């Protein structure tokens, strides 16, 4: 019955599609995207990468809407957002989704890094994937903290003051660095203008460039999946490897030198299995953001007042470990040491693939990498929880 | 008859006697409760590993730990009830009733979880062997037990931290739960409990290893009683000759098992204790910020003698662990022995740096009065090397990093299959025994520090021990004590 | 070079030179602009704080003052606190309530008789010396001067919108 009505259109739409396809090559593109070979095992674990991308796009999307209403003005900025919170329920919802999107994004990008770290997905030939990913992590943190400075309420103003003061502790050039960011010695209108520009253009530009590189590299070498894909399943690894090579579609490299670790045991097509898993996980996260964005929303404290005597500046939750480091000791030298320590740890994280060059992928056989990694992660989590009561200032 | 209830009278013992009784019971309770909480975590982890990897040793360890938990819990529960009913209610009644009224819901939840713990623990204990056919159900029960115990600790931490930093929590429930020292205390205890349980595992394994190794050396079939242990290889009857061989095999197996168990426990103990210096420091920082008088008393005076003792014990824990791993790796001839020796150097230097006093006089005033404010190499009593900032902080960081390297080194040796279980010497087990004793001493020291820091208050700024008087005069004159708000 | 340059190599070099010049022409203004705040002169001006005759001795009194930023494009002045302290030995201080640790807002706590920074517990005494917690240096002071108001005869305090770097 349905066919009776759609058949005349079906014929015409088929030819219309053919016209389009001849000119754009869209079918080939879609096929290349959808029917890529991905490893069978580890599917759920590596949905986190696509979830991160979805969340970043969500931030871009909600951010554009906020751009339509917000003015980066020291005096008027708060008013625009306050109007949103009090008069526009949907606007407040969008703002809430932007905030919770940021929080969930930081969580998910952390989980994504944890997964790739654990399954050794940064080993040859995917080192640059990790490097771009680590840089993306820092860009996301940068975006989160510059975003926190924009609403110009008490929380935002004092975050601006305290965070732009951190470069002050770098010996020698510290004051200069601080001035470069703030635009002057003290925080004023210029600081907000610069931070706004950084948040909506400079960092997103770098972010999307690196995402492009990251995705390109991913497609080039194929998804890694889980480390179990690369352990021999039969008693004759060489034969198994030859069989795997025969079955594997590109992009998994089949050059002789990389055979040993590049080809997963079994592959399936990206569409529909993996795409379904990716969508399910993204759905979960977006639902959380959707719900929390409305129920909890984004708080907006009183207008930023530099002359306050009662407001207690509070770090964002993802800056709590840094806050704990700053708490450690008085004295300029040790504070710089704390910041330098964080800098060193960050650099080590970025160059991890060049530190861990062994071919071993099984986690239990890489304790010299996993144990320090887990130690660091445990410290981060524990310091966040220890400092958490600061968030409520009770 | 309907007159107001008479005011509560303290029972006729001295305050000193009451304090001593509380101190003794508290010392036992702390060591027992923390062991139980940590052991429940280790049981769940061990059982999970044994399911995932089909490893018998982990199952045997989990079963043995569970049996120990059941025994210890039985005694500990009786002690806790005794403590609450007679010591706390009887001797510190005013305080305890006030506290129960303020932190009513945390206490209720904690008590509910206590019941849950009883049910789960004894169910597991009675059915451990029977549930071997249903490994995942048993694993699930073990996880539930660990969860119940952790939440129990969480709720009692609300009460304990409220006593130190009340923070307006007598009127505001949220402020009570989120008082400044609650989360740091919970984190500190969670990590410490697992480390303590690991140290106990190492201690018991060391004793059993020594016995098993001795038997391997000079075993006589007639002298060895049959081993009945939960989760062990079930007893099967052989002929006498077979029995001799089976017992020798069991002895060898025991040797291998207890060697492995001792190292396993020590790894947990050292790796988790490696996190504690920073956690403890942050915790002390919160106390300093929100309960300054308590922080100052916590330091036990100008040169913080008891704190120096604590740092010293911490360093000793790391050194004992390092020594044990060194001897253990040497016994099996592994390659990473040099790392352990190098770390020993770092640990010793860091411990000495951390544990030295900042001046060789009891107080700063003494030093000034005697005109000896110069450094000790200039003839004075001052010790600039012993300053907290930055030297002791650096020493603590060195301890943390060195402990991490120590643990990584031994785990690496194990992952390469370089450790042959059964190789450890009987002599090296003394290090594990000392480790257990040192951790116990450490926990006792911390108990002393905690209680002393709050003196004379039981709830900081509100209720003292001496008369169990409530400081806020606005609430005097009522029959049943009520709670004043924070001054 | 001994061999004559080929046409191809010449073209490549010319292209490179052109691209380099384009890059230079783009980056000189850009980098210059970026680092310009470091070289801009600050416009320093005197700002009236108010009548300090009623400020009690030993009790820091906060005054809210609208400070011009003095640098960059013209913008609204920022409200800052000037803590006026008169000590028993007749010294006058005009403190900024910017903590020297992470620049949180410091306030006078009468219970502690010290300036307290709520962020990390930094403490300063009445004369601004850092006495406890993380702050590495004393409380910053505004450059100040006093005038006598011709009309009322009261002492008027004025500060410059800059810290006194000599302290």
pLDDT digits (tens, 9 = 90+) for A101-110: 999 999 999 9
| DSSP letter (8 states) at residue B386 | G
Phi, psi of B438 (to 5 degrees): -65, -40
pLDDT, residue B86, reads 80
d(CA B210, CA B221): 18
Chain A positions in Cβ-Cβ contact with residue C71 (cut-off 8 Å):
183-185, 188, 190
Is the pLDDT at B446 greater than 70, yes or no? yes
Give this prediction's pTM: 0.85
Is C75 an interface residue toward A (CB < 8 Å)?
A: yes
The pLDDT tens digits for B245-275 are 555 555 567 888 898 899 999 999 999 999 9
pLDDT of residue A226: 77
Task: Name every chain A residue with its beta carbon within 8 A of the beta carbon of B279.
Answer: 382, 386
| pLDDT surpasses 60 at B475 | no
Q: End-to-end CA distance of chain A: give it in Å, rounded.
A: 67
Using DSSP bridges, classify how beta strands B463-464 and B457-459 pair: parallel, antiparallel or unpaired.
Answer: antiparallel
Return d(Cα B142, Cα B69) in angstroms, integer: 12
Give the pLDDT score at B393: 85
The pLDDT value given to residue B200: 97
B223 has pLDDT over 50: no
| Selected residue of C74, C102, C124 to mutate for chain A interface (largest A Cβ count, 10 A) | C102
CA dihedral B292, B295, B300, B304 (to 10 degrees): -110
Q: Look at residue B477 in the predicted model and tell me its pLDDT.
A: 40
Q: Mind giving me the DSSP string for B410-432? A: HHHHHHTT-PPTT---TTTHHHH
Inter-chain CB proximity B274 and A372 less than 8 Å? no
pLDDT score at B3: 53
When pLDDT is averaged across residues A38-66 and rounded to a whole number, the result is 91
Q: Are residues A321 and A315 in contact, defined by beta-carbon separation less than 8 angstroms?
A: no
Q: Taking 50 as the threshold, does the pLDDT of residue B139 lie above it?
A: yes
- Most confident region among C13-27, C112-126, C129-143 by mean pLDDT: C13-27
- Angle, helices B305-332/B429-454, rounded to nearest 10 degrees: 160
Mean residue pLDDT of chain C comes to 88
The pair of three-digit structure tokens given for residue B104, joined into one six-digit string: 């009513």
Query: Which chain A residues are closer than 8 Å to B167 by Cβ?
Result: 394
Chain C residues within an 8 Å CB radius of A310: 107
User: Which residues, 6+ apart, have CB-to-CB distance to A50 below 8 Å?
Assistant: A278, A281, A282
Distance of residue A12 Cα from the nearest chain C Cα, in angstroms? 51
Phi and psi of B124, rounded to 5°? -65, -45
Predicted complex ipTM: 0.85
What are the chain A neighbours of C61 within 8 Å (beta carbons)?
none
More confident residue, B484 or A173: A173
Q: Tell whether C110 is within 8 A of chain A (Cβ).
A: no
Q: Looking at residue B234, what is its pLDDT?
A: 32
| pLDDT exceeds cutoff 50 at B230 | no
Is the CB of C119 inside 8 Å of chain A's CB atoms?
Answer: yes
A173 in contact with chain C, both atoms CB, cutoff 8 A: no
- Mean pLDDT to the nearest integer, A33-56: 87
With 50 as the cut, is the pLDDT of residue A60 above it? Answer: yes
B459 and B449 Cβ atoms separated by less than 8 Å: no
Q: How far apart are the first and last CA of chain B?
A: 35
- Asked whether the beta carbons of residue A306 and residue C80 sit closer than 8 angstroms, the reply is yes
Distance in Å, alpha carbon of B166 to nearest chain A alpha carbon: 11
Top pLDDT among B417 and A44 is at: A44
Question: Where is pLDDT greater, at B278 or C71?
Answer: B278
Q: What is the mean pLDDT of residues B49-58?
A: 83
A328–B408 CB contact, under 8 Å: no
CB B332, CB B324: distance < 8 Å: no
Percent of chain A topping pLDDT 70: 91
Interface test with C, best of A176, A186, A190, A322 (most C CBs within 10 A): A186
For residue A132, what pLDDT is reported? 97
Cα angle: A56, vertex A296, B173; to 5 degrees = 135
Residue C120 forms contact with B (CB below 8 Å) = yes
Nearest Cα residue to B462 out of B9, B95, B26: B95
Q: How many residues does chain A have?
A: 394
Helices (H), B165-231: 173-177, 182-217
Rounded mean pLDDT of B286-296? 82
Inform me whether the C-beta atom of residue B178 falls under 8 Å from chain A C-beta atoms: yes
The string of DSSP letters for C70-114 reads -SSS----EEEEEEEEE-TTS-EEEEE-B-TTT-PBPEEETTTTE
Best of C105, C116, C121 to disrupt the A interface by mutation (most A CBs within 10 Å)?
C105
Nearest CA in chain B to A335: B390
Query: Under a CB-based contact definition with an 8 Å cutoff, are residues B487 and B461 in contact?
Result: yes
Residue B227 has what pLDDT?
42
| SS3 track for chain A | CHHHHHHHHHHHHHHHHHHHHHHHCHHHHHHHHHCCEEECCCCCCCHHHHHHHHHHHHHHHHHHHHHCCCCCCCCCHHHHHHHHHHHCHHHHHHHHHHHHHHHHHHHHHHHHHHHHHHCCCCCCCCHHHHHHHHHHHHHHHHHHHHHHCCCCEHHHHHHHHHHHHHHHHCCCCHHHHHHHHHCCCCCCHHHHHHHHHHHHHHHHHHHHHHHHHHHHHHHHHCCCCCHHHHCCCCCCHHHHHHHHHHHCCCCCCCCHHHHHHHCCCCEEEHHHHHHHHHHHHHHHHHHHHHHHHHHCCCCCCCECCCCCCCCCCCCCHHHHHHHHHHHCCCCHHHHHHHHHHHHHHHHHHHCHHHHCCCCCCCHHHCHHHHHHHHHHHHHHHHHHHHCCHHHHCC
Between A176, A309, A311, which is nearest C38 by CB?
Answer: A176
Mean pLDDT score, A344-351: 93
A219/A217 Cα distance (integer angstroms): 5
- Give me the helix-helix angle, A47-67 and A275-295, nearest 10°: 40
Reported confidence tier of residue A51, pLDDT bands at 50, 70, 90: very high
Query: Which CA distances in Å does B71 have to B76, B361, B444?
Result: 9, 47, 22
CA distance C10 to chain A (A): 33
Question: What pLDDT digit, counting tens, does each position of C59-72 carry?
Answer: 999 999 998 888 88
Q: Name the band, by pLDDT with cuts 50, 70 and 90, for residue B479.
A: very low
Chain A contact probe: residue of B390, B396, B414 with most A CBs at under 10 A? B390
Mean pLDDT of B380-384: 80
Helix, strand or coil for residue B117? helix
The DSSP output letter for B388 is I
Q: What is the pLDDT of residues A277-310, one digit of tens each?
A: 999 999 999 999 999 999 999 999 999 889 888 8
Q: At C101, is the pLDDT very low, low, confident or very high (cuts 50, 70, 90)?
A: confident
For residue C139, what pLDDT is reported?
A: 92
Helix (H, G, I), strand (E, B) or coil at B96: helix
Of A331, A368, A386, the CB nearest to B408: A368
* B290: closest chain A residue by CA: A394
How many CB atoms neighbour CB C62 within 10 A? 15
Which of B180, B389, B408 has the CB atom closest to A334's CB atom? B389
Residue with more model confidence, B298 or B170: B298
Cα–Cα distance, B424 to B212 (Å, whole number) = 12
User: Rounded CA gap, A65 and A384, in Å?
Assistant: 31
Q: Compute how many other C-beta atoms are within 10 angstroms of the C-beta atom of residue B484.
A: 17
pLDDT bin (cut points 50, 70, 90) of residue B43 is: very high
Q: What is the pLDDT of residue B282?
A: 87
pLDDT on residue B249: 56
List domains and CATH numbers for chain A.
38-392 (1.20.810.10)
Interface of A with B (CB under 8 A): 324, 327-331, 333-334, 337, 364-368, 371-372, 375, 378-379, 382-383, 385-389, 392, 394
Enumerate the residues of chain B whose CB falls inside 8 A of the CB of residue A389.
Answer: 178-180, 182-183, 286
Q: What phi and psi values does residue C49 have, to the nearest 5 degrees?
A: -95, -55
Distance CA B278, CA A384 (A): 12
Chains interfacing with A (3 or more CB pairs < 8 Å): B, C
Confidence check: pLDDT of C39 > 70 = yes
Helix/strand/coil for B54: coil
Asked if C118 and A312 come within 8 Å (Cβ–Cβ), the reply is: yes
pLDDT tops 80 at residue A354: yes
Q: Tell me which of C160 and B9 has the higher pLDDT.
A: C160
Return the pLDDT at A46: 84
Which of B:268-287 have CB within 8 Å of A? Answer: 271, 274-275, 278-279, 281-283, 285-286
pLDDT in tens, B14-38: 667 777 878 888 889 989 999 999 9
- pLDDT for the residue numbered B244: 55
> Do C101 and A326 make contact, defined as CB atoms within 8 angstroms?
yes
A326–C contact, CB cutoff 8 A? yes
| Res B120 pLDDT > 90 | yes
pLDDT mean over B378-405: 86
**pLDDT, tens only, C149-158:** 888 888 888 9
pLDDT number for residue B466: 63
Mean pLDDT score of chain B, rounded to an integer? 82
Q: Residue A8: which pLDDT band, with cuts at 50, 70 and 90?
A: low
Residue B96's pLDDT is 85
pLDDT tens string A235-265: 777 777 777 777 766 666 655 545 555 677 7
Q: How near does any CA of chain C get to the CA of B474, in Å?
A: 21
Chain C residues near residue B296 by CB distance under 8 angstroms:
none
Report chain B's C-alpha Rg in angstroms.
Answer: 25
Number of H helices, E strands in chain C: 1, 10
pLDDT of residue B108: 93
CA nearest A366 in B: which residue? B412
Q: Is the CB of residue B180 less than 8 Å from the CB of residue A387? A: no
Report pLDDT digits (tens) over B292-319: 778 888 877 777 888 899 999 999 999 9
User: Are residues A296 and A133 in contact, defined by beta-carbon separation less than 8 angstroms?
Assistant: no
C-alpha torsion sign, points A72, A78, A79, A83: positive
% of chain B at pLDDT higher than 90: 43
Per-residue confidence (pLDDT) for residue B373, from 0 to 100: 76
| Count of residues in chain C | 167
What per-residue confidence (pLDDT) applies to B333? 84
B475: which 2 tokens? 């609430």
Q: Return the higher-pLDDT residue of B293 and A116.
A: A116
Q: How many Cβ contacts (< 8 angstroms) between chains A and B?
A: 76
């Amino acid at each position: 019955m349905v066919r009776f009505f759609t058949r005349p259109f079906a014929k015409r739409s088929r030819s219309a599609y053919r016209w389009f396809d001849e000119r754009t090559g869209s079918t080939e593109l879609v096929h290349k995207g959808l029917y890529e070979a991905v490893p069978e095992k580890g599917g759920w674990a590596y949905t986190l990468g696509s979830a991160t991308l979805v969340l970043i796009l969500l931030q871009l999307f909600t951010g554009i809407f906020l751009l339509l209403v917000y003015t980066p003005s020291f005096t008027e900025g708060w008013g625009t957002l306050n109007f949103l919170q009090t008069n526009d329920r949907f606007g407040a919802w969008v703002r809430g989704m932007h905030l919770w999107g940021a929080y969930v994004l930081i969580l998910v990008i952390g989980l994504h890094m944890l997964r790739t770290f654990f399954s050794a997905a940064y080993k040859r030939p995917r080192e640059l994937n990790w490097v771009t990913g680590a840089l993306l992590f820092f860009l996301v943190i940068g975006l989160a903290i510059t975003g926190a400075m924009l609403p110009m309420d008490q929380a935002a103003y004092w975050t601006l003051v305290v965070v732009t003061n951190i470069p002050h502790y770098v010996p020698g050039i510290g004051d200069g660095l601080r001035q470069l960011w703030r635009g002057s010695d003290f925080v004023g209108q210029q600081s907000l203008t610069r931070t706004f520009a950084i948040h909506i253009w400079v960092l997103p530009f770098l972010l999307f460039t690196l995402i492009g590189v990251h995705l390109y590299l991913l497609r080039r070498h194929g998804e890694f999946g889980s480390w179990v894909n690369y352990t021999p399943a039969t008693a004759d690894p060489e034969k198994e490897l030859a069989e795997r090579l025969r079955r594997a579609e590109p992009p998994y490299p089949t050059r002789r030198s990389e055979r040993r670790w590049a080809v997963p045991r079994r592959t399936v097509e990206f569409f529909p299995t993996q795409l379904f898993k990716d969508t399910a996980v993204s759905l979960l996260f977006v639902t959380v953001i959707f719900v929390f964005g409305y129920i909890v929303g984004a708080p907006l404290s009183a207008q930023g007042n530099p002359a306050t005597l009662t407001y207690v500046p509070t770090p964002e939750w993802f800056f709590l470990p840094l806050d704990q480091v700053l708490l450690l000791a008085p004295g300029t030298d040790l504070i710089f040491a704390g910041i330098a320590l964080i800098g060193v740890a960050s650099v080590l994280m970025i160059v991890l693939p060049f530190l861990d060059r062994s071919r071993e992928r099984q986690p239990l056989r890489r304790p010299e990498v996993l144990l320090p990694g887990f130690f660091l992660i445990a410290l981060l989590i524990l310091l966040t929880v220890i400092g958490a009561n600061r968030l409520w200032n009770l | 008859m309907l007159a107001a209830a008479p005011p509560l009278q303290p029972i006729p013992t001295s305050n000193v006697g009451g304090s001593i009784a509380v101190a003794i019971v508290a010392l036992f309770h702390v060591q027992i409760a923390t062991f139980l909480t940590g052991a429940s975590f280790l049981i769940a982890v061990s059982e999970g590993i044994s399911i995932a990897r089909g490893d018998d040793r982990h199952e045997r360890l989990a079963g043995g730990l569970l049996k120990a938990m059941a025994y210890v819990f039985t005694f500990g529960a009786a002690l806790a009830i005794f403590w609450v009913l007679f010591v706390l209610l009887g001797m510190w009644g005013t305080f305890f009733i006030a506290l129960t009224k303020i932190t009513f819901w945390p206490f209720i939840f904690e008590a509910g979880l206590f019941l849950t713990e009883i049910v789960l623990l004894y169910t597991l204990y009675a059915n451990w062997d029977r549930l071997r056919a249903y490994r995942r159900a048993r694993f699930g029960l073990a996880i539930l037990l660990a969860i119940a115990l952790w939440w129990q600790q969480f709720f009692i931490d609300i009460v304990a931290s409220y006593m130190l930093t009340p923070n307006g929590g007598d009127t505001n429930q949220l402020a009570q739960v989120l008082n400044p020292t609650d989360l740091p205390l919970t984190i500190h205890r969670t990590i410490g409990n697992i480390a303590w349980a690991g140290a106990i595992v190492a201690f018991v394994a060391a004793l059993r290893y020594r016995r098993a190794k001795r038997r391997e050396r000079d075993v006589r079939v007639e002298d060895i009683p049959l081993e009945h242990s939960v989760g062990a290889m079930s007893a099967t009857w052989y002929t006498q000759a077979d029995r001799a061989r089976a017992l020798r095999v069991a002895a060898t197996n025991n040797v291998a098992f207890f060697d492995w168990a001792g190292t396993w426990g020590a790894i947990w103990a050292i790796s988790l204790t490696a996190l504690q210096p920073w956690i403890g420091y942050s915790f002390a920082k919160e106390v300093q910020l929100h309960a300054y008088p308590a922080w100052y008393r916590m330091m036990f005076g100008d040169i913080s003698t008891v704190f120096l003792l604590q740092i010293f014990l911490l360093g000793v824990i790391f050194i004992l662990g390092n020594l044990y791993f060194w001897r253990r790796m040497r016994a099996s001839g592994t390659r990473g022995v040099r790392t352990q020796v190098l770390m020993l150097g770092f640990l010793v230097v860091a411990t000495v740096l951390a544990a030295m006093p900042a001046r060789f006089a009891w107080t700063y005033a003494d030093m000034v009065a005697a005109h000896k404010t110069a450094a000790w190499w200039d003839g004075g009593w001052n010790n600039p090397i012993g300053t907290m900032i930055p030297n002791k902080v650096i020493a603590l960081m060195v301890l943390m990093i060195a402990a991490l390297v120590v643990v990584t080194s031994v785990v690496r040796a194990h992952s390469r299959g370089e450790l042959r279980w059964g190789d450890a010497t009987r002599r090296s087990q003394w290090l594990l025994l000392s480790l257990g004793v040192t951790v116990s001493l450490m926990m006792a020291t911390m108990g002393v520090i905690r209680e002393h820091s709050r003196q004379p208050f039981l709830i900081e700024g509100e209720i003292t021990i001496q008369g169990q008087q409530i400081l806020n005069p606005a609430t005097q004159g009522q029959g049943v004590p009520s709670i004043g708000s924070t001054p | 070079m001994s061999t004559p340059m080929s046409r191809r190599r010449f073209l490549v070099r010319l292209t490179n030179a052109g691209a380099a010049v384009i890059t230079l022409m783009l980056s000189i203004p850009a980098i210059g602009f970026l680092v310009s705040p470091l070289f801009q002169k600050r416009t320093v001006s005197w700002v009236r704080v108010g009548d300090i005759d009623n400020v009690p001795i030993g009790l820091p009194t906060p005054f809210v003052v609208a400070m011009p930023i003095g640098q960059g494009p013209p913008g609204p002045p920022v409200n800052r606190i000037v803590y006026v302290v008169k000590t028993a030995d007749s010294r006058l201080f005009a403190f900024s309530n910017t903590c020297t640790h992470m620049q949180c807002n410091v306030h006078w706590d009468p219970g502690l008789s010290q300036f307290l920074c709520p962020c990390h517990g930094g403490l300063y005494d009445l004369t601004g010396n850092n006495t406890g917690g993380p702050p590495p240096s004393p409380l910053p002071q505004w450059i100040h001067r006093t005038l006598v108001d011709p009309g009322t005869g009261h002492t008027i305090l004025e500060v410059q919108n800059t810290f006194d770097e000599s302290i």
